[in-house]
Amino acid sequence: MSDILQTAGLVTALATPSPATQDSLSVDQAIEIVRPIYNALTSASPADVRVQLESGTTKDWQNCASTNACDDREATIARWSARIAKVPDFRFEIRDVVTMGNRIVVRSEAQGTPVGEFLGVAQSGHAFRIMTIDVHEVQDGRVARTYHVEDWARAARQLRDQN
C-alpha cells in the first residue's frame, strides 16, 4: 500500500504545474539538454559518468526515485559507476519526448545483460528490456531535478526467465 501511495504522490507532484522559467522547449532542444544524462547512464567508465553528469546537470541536481527519495549528483555518480561492472552493455533508447514549460518528459527503453548477480538474481545469461519514464526539470539550460520510474520488477522476472 505504501508503494501505491508513494507512486500516487509522485504522479501528483509531476502533474502539478510548475512555474515555467522559460517558454516550452522544442523536442530537439529538449533532447540536447537531457542527452548528457543518458550518455552518463550508458558510459563505459566512471570518469565518463562524472563528465557527462557535470556537463548536463546543475551542481545541486536531485535524482528522485519517489517524491521523498532523491540522491544528489555525487551519490548518483557513485551508483551509476558501480552499475558499469554489473551491466557493461547497459543502454537506453529514447522512444518519446514531450516538453511542457521547463519540463522534459522522456519515455525510453533500458536494456542490458548482467555479467553477475543483479537485482538479487544470479547471473543467468538472460537480458532485460524495460520501459522507463523520466521527468526532468530544467533551470538555465541544465537539468536541476529528475524524477524517474523504471520497471525493475519486470527486469528481475526477465532475468529469471519468468516473463
Q: How confident is the model at residue 116, as a pLDDT?
A: 93
Place of cell 529469471: 160
- Express each pLDDT in 96-144 by its tens digit: 999 999 999 999 999 999 999 999 999 999 999 999 999 999 999 999 9
Rounded Cα–Cα distance for residues 14 and 63 (Å):
14
pTM for the model stands at 0.83
Cβ–Cβ < 8 Å for 132, 110:
yes
- Express each pLDDT in 25-61 by its tens digit: 999 999 999 999 999 999 999 999 999 999 999 999 9
Q: Which CATH architecture has domain 2-159?
A: Roll (3.10)
For the chain, the distance separating the N- and C-terminal CA atoms, rounded to the nearest angstrom, is 24
